[in-house]
Chain A
Amino acid sequence: DAGVTQSPTHLIKTRGQQVTLRCSPKSGHDTVSWYQQALGQGPQFIFQYYEEEERQRGNFPDRFSGHQFPNYSSELNVNALLLGDSALYLCASSWGYEQYFGPGTRLTVT
């Protein structure tokens, strides 16, 4: 049983560009959450998708948007990248109280 998978592993972008990150949830999980982890910090909640709708959202600007597909996989899109968007982006899937994380995508904005 594959766990949560994310792609790509690493990404380097330039300020002002747009980026799309992808996530496939653990088998049997229908809810996907995205988190941003800056260096030396704990993960911060961006938003959560369930039944292809955004169900909860954290304190992130509208430049951060997402999508969930009928097979429960999800994308995170970030527009107009800023240097401060450099971080590890984590996807987590769940079907209950515990959330299971993927390995993350390391985004560097130069």
Chain B
Amino acid sequence: DQQVKQNSPSLSVQEGRISILNCDYTNSMFDYFLWYKKYPAEGPTFLISISSIKDKNEDGRFTVFLNKSAKHLSLHIVPSQPGDSAVYFCAASTGGANSKLTFGKGITLSVRP
């Protein structure tokens, strides 16, 4: 039972363009959402998060949008850089701080020079 779904396994984007990574969830109790980036042979690195009381959060080149009615969130990277090439995981939690994270399967982003 996949509660967090990243349905596109991969995405290829030209350097300088926008990357849009999508994530859907089924559990309406999720109240906090996070994006992580993972390079090979490293652990996931926290990128950006959003609370369910907001619909947008921005941090530099990264913006996360949350559409609660559609149970959908997306990560926008503008402009995309070759160093952004990695696996991106969407994660969700419920129950406040330090709650367990439920992850999607990840999307492999390739940014072409």
Residues of A within 8 A of B (CB): 4, 6, 31, 33, 35, 40-45, 48, 50, 55-56, 58, 90, 92, 94-104
Contacts and interface: CB of A to CB of B under 8 A. Distances in A.
Given A98-B46, A101-B45, A42 B105 contact: yes
B49 interface: yes
A58 B44 contact: no
A94 B105 contact: no
A87 B103 CA distance: 16
Given A41-B105, A43-B103, A103 B42 contact: yes
A5 B104 CA distance: 24
B105 A96 contact: no
How many B residues touch the partner, as a band? Answer: 20 to 34
B108 to A, nearest CB: 10
B103 A42 contact: yes
Interface string B19-34: 0000000000000101
Contact of A101 (B6, B43, B104, B106): B43
B112 interface: no
B103 A44 contact: yes
A94 B79 CA distance: 30
B93 A90 contact: no
Given A97-B32, A97-B49, A97-B93, A45 B101 contact: yes
B97 interface: yes
A55 B98 CA distance: 10
Contacts of B106: 41-42
Nearest to B6: A42
B97 A104 contact: no
Given A42-B106, A43-B89, A99 B43 contact: no
Given A4-B43, A42-B106, A103-B41, A97 B97 contact: yes
Interface string B64-106: 0000000000000000000000000101010011111111111
